Amino acid sequence: MQNFDWNFQTKLSYGPGRIAEVGKIASGFGKKAFLATYEANATFAPVIDKVVTSLAAAGVEVVVFTEIEPNPRAHTIDKAIELFNAEGCDLVIALGGGSVIDGSKYIAATSFSGGSCWDYVVLGDRVPREYTGAFPIISIPTVAASGSECNAGGVLSNEETKEKSFSRSEYRIPKVAILDPELHATLPDFITNESCIDIFSHLIEHYLSSEADSGFADRQTEGMILNLMDNFDKIQKNPNDLDVRGQLALCSIFGWSGIQGLGRMGSIPMHSIEMPLSAHYDMRHARGMAVVVPPYLEFFSDVRPDRWAQLARRCFGVVEQDDNVAAKLLSVKVTEWFERTGMLIKLSDDGITADKFEEMADDVIRMFAMPGTNTIAGVKPITKEEIIEVFKLAL
C-alpha cells in the first residue's frame, strides 16, 4: 500500500431546499459574490433568481456571470476573471455542473494569483504557473457527475488551439458544497444518464491503473459502484426520487475525492484519451467517457487480468475462476450494462470518423506523456498506437 495524505476540506450541506441557505452561508466568506453559471433558460432562470434573492436577503452583493459553456473555454474564463477583478468581488459561487464548477475554480484562483487561466494547466513540457492562493468558492452542483464540487481538480479547453487540459490546486477546493437534490430532479434524462457513466469512469480509473494494493480502497470503490448501479436503475424509473438523487450525489463526490484511492492512487488514462474528443468535437465530457470506457476495458484486459477479473467478479456477477477469461468478461458486462441503460455510445453515433484519430492521439502524447517518454501513464505505459486502437474500437 502506498503512503498518502488525505483530508476532506469541503463542508457538505445536503437536503431538498438547501439552496435557499446560500446567502447565509456566503455571508460568512465575503461581501460581494461572483455568481458563475450557465446561460439562463426558462427552466434555469428561476434557480438563478433563488440564489440572487437569498444573497440579497443576507446582505451579500452579487455580480451574475451567465456565459460559462460545457467544456469551459479559457477565453470565457479570462473574461470572467476580468469582470471579477473590476467589480471587486471577494467570493465565487458556482451554480451548475462540472463545467461551471471547474471554471469557477479557475476564476477564484487566477483572480487571486494573476495572469490567464490557461497559464496554470498541464501542457506537455511547459512548467505550469503555480497559484499563490484563491478567493473562497461555494459550489452548488446541479448534477451528480464530476465530483468537482468537493475536490481540487479542474479542466479547461482552449478553443483556438483545440486543446483540453487540467490542473489541480488545494487552494481551489470549495469551502462549502450545497447539495440540493431538487435541482438535480430538473435535469433532462440524457444528462442524468451520461452523468452516471461519468461517475463510473472516476471510480474505475485508479482501481484499474495503480500498481499498489489497498483492500480498503478496493472495497470503498466496489461499494460505490454497486450503489451507483442500483440507483442508476432507480432514477431511470423515477427521475423525481430525491433520495436516489442524493445517493448519486454522494457517489459523485466520494468517487473523485481521493478516498476511493487511498493507498493505491493510480493514473487517469481514460480521461486523457477522452480529452481530445471534447477539444476537437466539443463532445460533452460525460458522453465522451461513455464512448471511451468499454473499448479501453476490452483493449487492456490482458495487461492486469487480476484487477480486471476482481472487478468483474465483485461488481458484475462474473463467476469464472480463470483470471484471463474473467478479465475479458469485464468489458462484456460493462457493455451490457451501458446498453441496458441506454448509454452504449459509439463515435459513429455523433458522426465522428477515423479522420482525426492520429492527430488526437498525438495530442494526448504531447500534452500528457510521462517525462522523457512518448507514453502516458496507465495500467501500462500507453503508446500513441494503442490510443488509436482504443479510438478504432470506439467507432
Encode pLDDT of 242-254 as tens digits.
Answer: 999 999 999 999 9
Query: If you average pLDDT over residues 226-239, what whole number do you get?
Result: 97
Q: What is the pLDDT of residues 325-368, one digit of tens each?
A: 999 999 999 999 999 999 999 999 999 999 999 999 999 999 99
Looking at the structure, do residues 380 and 233 belong to the same domain, yes or no? yes
On the question of pLDDT at 126 being above 90, the answer is no
Backbone Cα Rg of the chain: 20
**pLDDT at residue 310, as a whole number:** 98
Report yes or no: 39 and 66 within 8 Å, Cβ to Cβ: yes
**Residue 268 to residue 207: CA distance in whole angstroms:** 10
Looking at the structure, do residues 158 and 263 belong to the same domain, yes or no? no
**Residue 104 to residue 36: CA distance in whole angstroms:** 6
The answer to the question of residue 5 being in a domain is no
On the question of pLDDT at 125 being above 90, the answer is no
Looking at the structure, do residues 258 and 309 belong to the same domain, yes or no? yes
Looking at the structure, do residues 55 and 72 belong to the same domain, yes or no? yes
C-alpha cell at 61: 452583493
Cα 302-303-305 angle, rounded to 5 deg? 60
The answer to the question of residue 323 being in a domain is yes
**Residue 394 to residue 179: CA distance in whole angstroms:** 34
Looking at the structure, do residues 177 and 193 belong to the same domain, yes or no? no
**Domain CATH for 141:** 3.40.50.1970
**pLDDT at residue 124, as a whole number:** 86
Total H helices, total E strands in the chain: 14, 8
The answer to the question of residue 6 being in a domain is no
Query: If you average pLDDT over residues 284-309, what whole number do you get?
Result: 97
On the question of pLDDT at 168 being above 90, the answer is yes
Looking at the structure, do residues 155 and 225 belong to the same domain, yes or no? no
The answer to the question of residue 3 being in a domain is no
Query: If you average pLDDT over residues 363-379, what whole number do you get?
Result: 95
Count of Cβ atoms closer than 10 Å to residue 223 Cβ: 16
**pLDDT at residue 41, as a whole number:** 84
Cα 327-318-218 angle, rounded to 5 deg? 70
Name the domain count of the chain: 2
Amino acid at 290: A
The answer to the question of residue 1 being in a domain is no
On the question of pLDDT at 158 being above 90, the answer is yes
Report yes or no: 45 and 52 within 8 Å, Cβ to Cβ: no
Instruction: Say what the pTM is.
Output: 0.95
**139: which strand partners?**
94, 177
**Residue 96 to residue 80: CA distance in whole angstroms:** 15
H or E element in which residue 178 lies: strand 176-179
Looking at the structure, do residues 355 and 212 belong to the same domain, yes or no? yes
Q: What is the pLDDT of residues 214-225, one digit of tens each?
A: 999 999 999 999
First to last CA, the chain: 38
**pLDDT at residue 131, as a whole number:** 98
Looking at the structure, do residues 45 and 100 belong to the same domain, yes or no? yes
Looking at the structure, do residues 197 and 345 belong to the same domain, yes or no? yes
State which of 134, 153, 184 marks the end of a domain.
Answer: 184
State which of 129, 152, 184 marks the end of a domain.
Answer: 184
Residue of 73, 163, 67 whose CA lies nearest to 116: 73
Per-residue H/E/C for 8-32:
CCCEEEECCCHHHHHHHHHCCCCCE
Q: What is the pLDDT of residues 10-41, one digit of tens each?
A: 999 999 999 999 999 999 999 999 999 998 88
Looking at the structure, do residues 197 and 313 belong to the same domain, yes or no? yes
Checking DSSP bridges between strand 91-96 and strand 137-141, what pairing results, if any? parallel
Looking at the structure, do residues 213 and 197 belong to the same domain, yes or no? yes
C-alpha cell at 263: 493507498
**Residue 37 to residue 237: CA distance in whole angstroms:** 29
Looking at the structure, do residues 308 and 246 belong to the same domain, yes or no? yes
Cα 182-184-189 angle, rounded to 5 deg? 130
The answer to the question of residue 233 being in a domain is yes
**Domain CATH for 333:** 1.20.1090.10
The answer to the question of residue 335 being in a domain is yes
Checking DSSP bridges between strand 61-65 and strand 32-37, what pairing results, if any? parallel
Query: If you average pLDDT over residues 299-323, what whole number do you get?
Result: 98
The answer to the question of residue 303 being in a domain is yes
Per-residue H/E/C for 227-268:
HHHHHHHHHHHCCCCHHHHHHHHHHHHHCCCCHHHCCCCCCC
Residue of 26, 43, 53 whose CA lies nearest to 139: 26
Which residue range forms the structural domain that includes residue 359? 189-393
Q: b vs e for 318-349, b when ≥16 Cβ sit within 10 Å of the residue's Cβ?
A: beeeebeebbbbbbbbbbebbeebebbbebee
State which of 166, 184, 202 marks the end of a domain.
Answer: 184
